[in-house]
Amino acid sequence: MRYCIVLGVALLILLACRPKPKQTFDVILRHGTVYDGSGAEPFTADVALQADTIAAIGDLGDAAGKKEIDATGLAVAPGFINMLSWADRSLLMDGRSMSDIKQGVTLEVFGEGWSPGPVKRKATSKPVDSLWTTLGGYFDYVLKKGVSPNVASFVGATSIRIHELGHDNRPPTAEELKRMKALVQQAMDDGAMGLGSSLIYAPADYASTDELIALAQVASQNGGMYITHMRSESDNILSAMNETFRISKEAHIAAEIYHLKINHERNWGKVETVIAKLDSARKAGLKITANMYTYTASATGLTARLPTWVQEGGASAMRKRLKNPVTRKKVLEEMRLGIPTKNSDPKDVMMLGFRLDSLNKLYRGKRLDEVARLHGKDADETVLDLVVRDKSTIAAVYFLISEANVKRMLTLPYVSFGSDAASMSEAKIFADWGTHPRAYGTFARFLGKYVRDEKVVSLPEAIRRLTALPASNLKLKKRGSLKVGYYADLALFDARTIADHATFDSPKEYATGMQHVFVNGVQVLHQGEHTGALPGRVVRGPGWKSKRG
């Protein structure tokens, strides 16, 4: 008996002295400089991932990873949020999201006025004219296709209006408004982030403020926000801001201004007044934020130079009107009087691309003043001729923004970022897509040019405004911060070398310096190269009602 007791004690001591088995994780990122998204100073730590979740942060020397990455010298940050993305179509063509993944973007947010749903099925002989008719249907389809980043969307007020009123320039009837509100409710049930508007374009600008308030109230009741391209970013920017604040106040909804900027040199001096109005509204209790891109030029269709009344009924009706000599004369008179926005100097407008190859060969990449000389007419007449001939909006770049104002707005603590562009690749399907360099460089340009080189913003603060700030505005759960228990959306980059390379002359150049990117715990970028993985999910808004109840 004594022998058995001694033997048992010895065995217990032996077992106690044996080294404990190492805790094992799917991935461990070793010795990185961790920026948690809060704006706090970074710290050196290991980060462990298990399945789709951040499982541990700290000294994990006693743990092992099935896969380990040496992150020494790299910033380890939450994945970046693109608050204004037009990748809803490009992701269906190439789900890798190359131009954004190579900048660390792990969430694409759609819905500036137009959204992937609702869309009305056309009455034709075909059994199905659309692969989906609701925002929820689009979400289901994009998941089926497979994409690298996560996706989210606002429901577009323009899409809602077109669904019920087409391109008519009139207020909705009581019954139509009721149906429009029901469409917003359906989209919120499907997971929309809120209501998005784009009020300089037809038919969006046909909507009254009261109409927008009525729709925004539905979004508000479901916990969503209102986000807007205001009616003016130029001469009437202050009154446009007042409308945004009114919608926020009367609909009891947080509001965000898309791509905050001030167009035309004559207005650049309003920058401090604009900022003071924003700060005043926030101090008064309104939840007002903004986003921006890091360039002194915007991009939109050449049709933005036309008064919106001529665009009533849609593109075909517009072109028919422009062929009428009387209507054409009236349009030209208004354009020369500066309607709708005291049009920019033709030398400040560059052609991005046309539908017709013949026009691309003649004019693509040229400024409007040169195009007009080649065409043999003045700039306004040239615009009308080209819009009619090309049967498109004709994408163009507008050089209207002050570099000093860009830097000033970058310092605002409530400003996040959006590319206002699709996410593309070198695939042949995008060969004819004209684009602004912001599609390839917005986020890298911020971190390289403005943070590292010009020190406009500190790196911890910059990462907060790329991650936790937009996540908080959108009310996202477990995203936007580098914390245990949060989803493993991560961007690892070299802060010393990250840079944009896209220019207006050569806009399709990938950014460099982003080394590793994870989406939901799956690596989509390894040493700067795409892995081909498509782990993206739909990130749904606070009003989402699961099909499972």
What is the rounded CA–CA span in Å between residue 544 and residue 201?
A: 29
Q: CATH number of the domain at 78-299+400-473, please?
A: 3.20.20.140
Per the CB < 8 A criterion, the answer to whether 147 and 164 are in contact is: no
Q: For the chain, how far is it from start to end, CA to CA, in angstroms? A: 64
What DSSP line would sit under 184-222, residue for residue?
A: HHHHHHHT--EEEEETTSTTGGGS-HHHHHHHHHHHHHT
Q: Would you state the pLDDT for residue 128?
A: 45
pLDDT at 549: 37
Instruction: Please list the residues that pair with 492 across neighbouring strands.
Output: 76, 516
Work out the widest C-alpha separation in the chain, in whole angstroms. Answer: 116
Whether the predicted model's global pTM rises above the 0.85 cut: yes
pLDDT for the residue numbered 125: 41
Q: Which residues are within 8 A (CB) of 485 and not within 5 positions of it... i.e. 6 or more apart?
A: 53, 54, 478
Residues in CB range of 444: below 8 A, 6 or more apart: 103, 498, 499, 500, 511, 512, 513, 514
- How far is Cα 475 from Cα 240, in angstroms, rounded to an integer? 26
The answer to whether 421 and 294 are in contact (CB under 8 A) is no
108, 100 contact by CB (below 8 A): yes
Q: What is the pLDDT, as a whole number, of residue 441? A: 98
298-301 and 288-292 beta bridge pairing = unpaired
Pairing of strands 255-257, 225-229: parallel
* Sequence-separated (6 or more) residues with CB below 8 Å from residue 11: none
Residue 393 CA to residue 458 CA, distance in Å, equals 40
- The helix/strand/coil state of 367 is strand
21: Cβ contacts below 8 Å, ≥ 6 apart: none
* Residue 243 identity: E
Identify residue 485 by its one-letter amino acid code: G
The pLDDT value given to residue 337: 86
Give 8: exposed, middle or buried? Use CB within 10 Å, 0-12, 13-18, 19+: exposed
Spell 91-128 as b/e; 16+ CB within 10 A means b.
beebbbbbbbbbbbbbbbbbbbbbbbbbbeeeeeeeee
Amino acid at 203: P
Determine how many CB atoms are found less than 10 A away from the CB of residue 313: 16
Residues with pLDDT less than 50, the chain: 15, 125-129, 548-549
CA distances in angstroms from 222 to 113, 184, 289, 496, 523, listed in the order given: 19, 10, 19, 43, 34
Domain ranges, ordered by start, for the chain: 78-299+400-473, 305-398
Radius of gyration from C-alpha coordinates of the chain:
26
